[in-house]
Amino acid sequence: MGFVTSPKNPVVAIDGPAGSGKSTVARKVAEALGLPALDTGAMYRALTWAVLDEGIDPADAAAVTALAERLELDVGPPVLVGGRDVNDAIRTADVSAAVSVVAAVPEARVILVRAQREWIAVHSGGVVEGRDIGTVVAPDALLKIYLVASEEERARRRQEQDGATEASGDLDATKAAIRRRDAIDSGRAASPLAAAEDAVVLDTTGVSVEGVVEEVLRRYRAALEAAQRT
Ligand code: DC
């Protein structure tokens, strides 16, 4: 799959662990730049929702891959699977608990990464957030941001974000769930969660969303100017 990223069709890659602020920052950066945004985590969640809906074992790599191949996914928003609105359903505790296992299936990742690259080509770039955007999906992105935050802060944000749909456990339980998911996401063989060598690592602990967005926009303008000079 060949695709080009240049100042004409720039990709801003935003990666990081759960609760690092990716989704909010990506949405606001996209709005500010007038670029479309793709939440790749929602794609892994939609596949996981379908896996559970069909009663497939998330660890059954062959069955998960076969389902990924025939999945009719519209990344929205709202996210649709086979025309059905699953935008809220993909945020439930059941999906959150199983998604890392599904996302560790290498053959399923190949299928989703291909769809993500197609999205980038069709939209001529955009703000793409996930775990492997800077390393695998768009290694030639104009700007790669890797967001981090303390475990405490990430757990708090996750609770706020998922409050409406996730069973509201205590902070320690959320922390444990995040730690478990991080361990699987970082430890898996296929495209583990990691910062690209050329990524800008931003620690968002104690920084407002506006502050992080402003920093990303500043880096974006600098990257664009540098690219235009060459
Ligand atoms: O960002 P999120 O919590 O919605 O992501 C859900 C899961 O999907 C996460 O546990 C890791 C996986 N994921 C991935 O492996 N690669 C991506 N590009 C995005 C998400």
The residue whose CA is least distant from atom 8 of ligand 1 is 41
The residue whose CA is least distant from atom 18 of ligand 1 is 130
Residue 70 lies in a domain: yes
Residue 40 lies in a domain: yes
Residue 230 lies in a domain: no
Residue 229 lies in a domain: no
The span from the CA of 201 to the CA of 95, in Å, is 28
Cβ 30 vs Cβ 37: under 8 Å: yes
Residue 205: what pLDDT?
A: 92
- Give residue 182 CA to ligand 1 midpoint distance, Å: 10
- Give residue 194 CA to ligand 1 midpoint distance, Å: 12
Residue 173 sits in a domain whose CATH number is 3.40.50.300
The span from the CA of 33 to the CA of 12, in Å, is 10
Residue 186 lies in a domain: yes
- Give residue 229 CA to ligand 1 midpoint distance, Å: 35
Residue 2 lies in a domain: no
Q: What is the DSSP annotation of 90-131?
A: GGSHHHHHHHHHHHT-HHHHHHHHHHHHHHHHHHTSEEEEES
Q: Which of 43, 95, 96, 99 to mutate to test the pocket of ligand 1 (most atoms within 8 A of CB)?
A: 99
Q: Which residues line ligand 1 (CB under 6 A)?
A: 18, 40-41, 44-45, 99-100, 103, 130-132, 181, 185
Quote the tokens at residue 87: 């935008």
Cβ 63 vs Cβ 50: under 8 Å: no
- Give me the residues paired with residue 126 across strands: 11
User: Whole-prediction pTM value?
Assistant: 0.90
- Give residue 168 CA to ligand 1 midpoint distance, Å: 21
* Pick from 2, 93, 113: nearest CA to 48: 93
Residue 162: what pLDDT?
A: 66
- Give residue 130 CA to ligand 1 midpoint distance, Å: 6
- Region label for 216, one of left (φ > 0), alpha (ψ between -120 and 50) or beta (otherwise): alpha
Residue 2: what pLDDT?
A: 38
Residue 21: what pLDDT?
A: 87
- Give residue 175 CA to ligand 1 midpoint distance, Å: 17
Q: What is the DSSP annotation of 135-165?
A: III-TT-SEEEEEE--HHHHHHHHHHHHTTT
Per-residue pLDDT of the chain (230 residues; tens, 9 = 90+): 334 445 556 899 999 998 888 999 999 999 999 999 999 999 999 999 999 999 999 999 999 999 999 999 999 889 999 999 999 999 999 999 999 999 999 999 999 999 999 999 999 999 999 999 999 999 999 999 999 999 888 888 877 776 645 555 688 888 888 888 888 888 888 888 889 999 999 999 999 999 999 999 999 999 999 888 87
The DSSP 8-state label assigned to residue 199 in this structure reads P
Residue 110 lies in a domain: yes
Separation in Å, CA 97 to CA 30, 69, 88, 203: 29, 22, 15, 26
Range of the domain at 90: 11-224
The residue whose CA is least distant from atom 2 of ligand 1 is 41
| Residues 6 or more apart whose Cβ sits within 8 Å of residue 139 | 196
Atom of ligand 1 minimally distant from the CA of 100:
10
- Give residue 94 CA to ligand 1 midpoint distance, Å: 14
The residue whose CA is least distant from atom 14 of ligand 1 is 131
Residue 1 lies in a domain: no
The span from the CA of 131 to the CA of 16, in Å, is 6
> How many structural domains comprise the chain?
1
Cβ 176 vs Cβ 120: under 8 Å: no
User: 1: burial class by Cβ within 10 Å (0-12, 13-18, 19+)?
Assistant: exposed
